[in-house]
C-alpha cells in the first residue's frame, strides 16, 4: 500500500500525476481554503502534505496528526509554518526558493513602474470616459531612470531587482538588510549599504522584499512613512504585515508619499478597506511569481521535496530545499 499524502490546494494535474507514482494522493480539487478543523481532518493518516502559503501548519495541527513527516511548501516564504514546532516533532519542512527569483523581480519592477507612472489611475480615468484632451500635467508621475532605488531586504530577489535598476535603468541603488552582503555582490548589483533611516529618507522608489517574521512585523509603519520623501513611492512584493496597511492608507490619502504598489496585504485575501478608497495605489492579488513556467517550476520543486523527503525517487532522503535540515540528521 502506498503512503498517503494531501495536496492541500489545487495544483497542476501533471504534478499530481508525478506524486501518484509514489503516493496515495488526496487532492483538494475544489481549491477550498480549509479551516483548521478541516485541515486536521484531511491530514488524518497522511505522512506528507503539499502546502501553499494559505495552509497553516502549527502545533495543534501537528499534535492531531503525529504521523505527519513532511510539509512541502510551494512558496519561498514559510510564515504559514511553525517551523520550531515541526522541528521539535521531527517533521521536515521545505520551500521553493530560486526558481521564482527572476519572475518575481520582473513583476516587482513592473509594479514599481506602474506605481511611479500612475498606470492604474490613468487607465481607470480613461475607462470612465473622462479623457477629453491632452494637457501638460495629465497624470504626470516620476521617473525611474536615474532615480534612487531603495531596497529593504537584499536576498536573491532584492539582488535581482538591484541589477535591473542599476544596469537597465541607471538607478542609484541603496539597500538595507539584516546583514550586509559581500563586496562582490554589492559590486555586481552596484548597490551601497545604508542604515534604515537613510534608506527611507533617500529613496525615490522603496522596494520591500524582506521575509516576514514576528521581528519584521510592521517594519514600515507611520513613523517610517513619515521619513520618506513626499514624492517617493513604496512597492511591497514581500509579505503582508511587513507594512502597516492602515498607516499606509492614511499616508497615501494625505499624499504624505506619492503612491504605492502592493502585491501582498495583511490578512490577505482581505484588503484593508481604506486602501480601496485611495486612487494613488496599485493593487494586485499576490501574483508576483505568476507565470506558467515559474509556477510549474515551484510546484515541481515542492513535489521533488515531498517525494525525496518521504524516501522515494533518485534523491531519496535528500530533498533539494529543506528549511529545517536538522530533522534529516535526526
- Could you read off the pLDDT of 219-242 as tens digits, one per residue? 999 999 999 999 999 999 999 999
Q: Report whether 266 contacts 254 (CB < 8 A).
A: no
CA distances from 158 to 149, 182, 212, 217, 233 (A): 11, 14, 14, 19, 17
Q: In this structure, are residues 284 and 262 in contact, taking their beta carbons and an 8 Å threshold? A: yes
Q: Helix or strand or coil: residue 56?
A: coil
Cα–Cα dist 256/280, whole Å: 11
| Residue 301 pLDDT level (bands cut at 50, 70, 90) | very high
**Whether pLDDT at 330 is above 90:** no
| Mean pLDDT over each residue of the chain, to the nearest integer | 97
Task: Indicate if the pLDDT at residue 247 is higher than 90.
Answer: yes
Spatial separation of the C-alpha atoms in residues 266 and 129, rounded to whole Å: 33
So what's the pLDDT on residue 289? Answer: 97
Report the percent of the chain where pLDDT is more than 70. 100
Report all structural domains of the chain as residue ranges with CATH numbers, in order of start. Answer: 4-98+292-329 (3.40.50.720), 101-283 (3.40.50.720)
Asked if pLDDT for residue 194 goes beyond 90, the answer is: yes
- Is residue 8 predicted with pLDDT exceeding 90? yes
- Across the range 284-291, mean pLDDT stands at 98
Q: What is the pLDDT of residue 7?
A: 98
Confidence at residue 72, expressed as pLDDT on a 0 to 100 scale: 98
> Per-residue confidence at 279, pLDDT binned at 50, 70, 90?
very high
Q: Are strands 48-51 and 24-27 parallel, antiparallel or unpaired?
A: unpaired
Nearest CA among 241, 242, 243 for reference residue 252: 243
pLDDT tens digits along 18-71 = 999 999 999 999 999 999 999 999 999 999 999 999 999 999 999 999 999 999
Tell me the residue length of the chain.
Answer: 330
Burial of 270 (0-12, 13-18, 19+ CB in 10 A): exposed
Q: What is the pLDDT of residue 120?
A: 97
* Torsional class of 317: left (φ above 0), alpha (ψ -120 to 50), beta (otherwise): left
Characterise 63 by phi-psi region: left (phi > 0), alpha (psi -120 to 50), beta (else).
Answer: alpha
| H/E stretch holding 94 | strand 92-94
Q: Which three cell numbers stand for residue 212?
A: 516576514
Nearest to 150 by CA among 200, 223, 211, 217: 200
The residues, ordered by sequence, that sit 6+ positions from 214 with a Cβ below 8 Å of its Cβ are none
Cα-to-chain-centroid distance, residue 97: 11
Spatial CA neighbour of 156 closest among 108, 221, 202? 108
Q: What percent of the chain has pLDDT over 90?
A: 98
Catalytic residue numbers read 239, 268, 286
Contact 216, 210 (CB under 8 A): yes
Question: What local confidence, expressed as pLDDT, does residue 329 receive?
Answer: 87
Please name the helix (run of DSSP H) or strand (run of DSSP E) that holds residue 179, with its range, or none.
Answer: none
Q: For residues 287-306, give the mean pLDDT.
A: 98
Dist. CA 149–CA 165, nearest whole Å? 7
How much is the average pLDDT of 264-292?
A: 97
Amino acid at each position: 500500500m502506498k503512503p498517503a499524502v494531501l495536496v492541500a490546494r489545487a495544483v497542476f494535474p501533471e504534478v499530481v500525476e508525478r506524486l501518484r507514482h509514489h503516493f496515495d494522493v488526496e487532492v483538494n480539487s475544489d481549491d477550498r481554503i480549509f479551516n483548521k478543523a478541516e485541515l486536521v481532518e484531511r491530514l488524518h493518516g497522511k505522512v506528507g502534505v503539499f502546502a501553499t502559503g494559505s495552509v497553516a501548519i502549527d502545533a495543534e495541527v501537528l499534535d492531531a496528526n503525529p504521523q505527519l513527516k513532511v510539509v512541502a511548501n510551494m512558496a519561498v516564504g514559510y510564515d504559514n509554518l511553525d517551523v520550531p514546532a515541526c522541528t521539535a516533532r521531527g517533521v521536515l519542512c521545505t520551500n521553493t526558493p530560486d526558481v521564482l527569483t527572476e519572475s518575481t523581480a520582473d513583476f516587482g519592477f513592473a509594479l514599481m513602474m506602474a506605481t511611479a507612472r500612475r498606470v492604474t489611475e490613468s487607465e481607470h480615468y480613461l475607462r470612465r470616459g473622462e479623457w477629453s484632451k491632452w494637457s501638460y500635467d495629465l497624470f504626470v508621475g516620476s521617473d525611474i531612470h536615474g532615480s534612487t532605488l531603495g531596497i529593504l531586504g537584499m536576498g536573491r530577489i532584492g539582488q535581482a531587482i538591484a541589477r535591473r535598476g542599476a544596469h537597465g535603468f541607471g538607478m542609484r541603488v541603496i539597500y538595507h538588510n539584516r546583514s550586509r552582503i559581500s563586496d562582490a555582490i554589492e559590486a555586481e548589483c552596484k548597490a551601497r549599504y545604508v542604515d534604515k533611516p537613510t534608506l527611507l529618507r533617500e529613496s525615490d522608489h522603496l522596494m520591500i522584499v524582506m521575509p516576514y517574521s514576528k521581528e519584521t512585523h510592521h517594519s514600515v509603519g507611520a513613523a517610517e512613512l513619515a521619513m520618506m520623501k513626499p514624492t517617493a513611492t513604496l512597492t511591497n512584493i514581500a509579505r503582508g504585515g511587513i507594512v502597516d496597511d492602515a498607516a499606509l492608507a492614511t499616508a497615501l490619502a494625505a499624499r504624505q508619499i506619492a503612491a504605492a504598489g502592493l502585491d501582498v496585504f495583511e490578512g490577505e485575501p482581505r484588503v484593508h478597506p481604506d486602501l480601496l478608497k485611495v486612487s494613488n495605489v496599485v493593487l494586485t492579488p499576490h501574483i508576483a511569481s505568476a507565470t506558467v513556467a515559474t509556477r510549474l517550476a515551484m510546484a515541481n520543486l515542492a513535489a521533488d521535496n515531498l517525494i525525496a523527503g518521504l524516501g522515494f525517487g533518485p534523491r531519496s532522503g535528500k530533498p533539494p530545499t529543506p528549511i529545517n535540515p536538522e530533522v534529516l540528521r535526526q
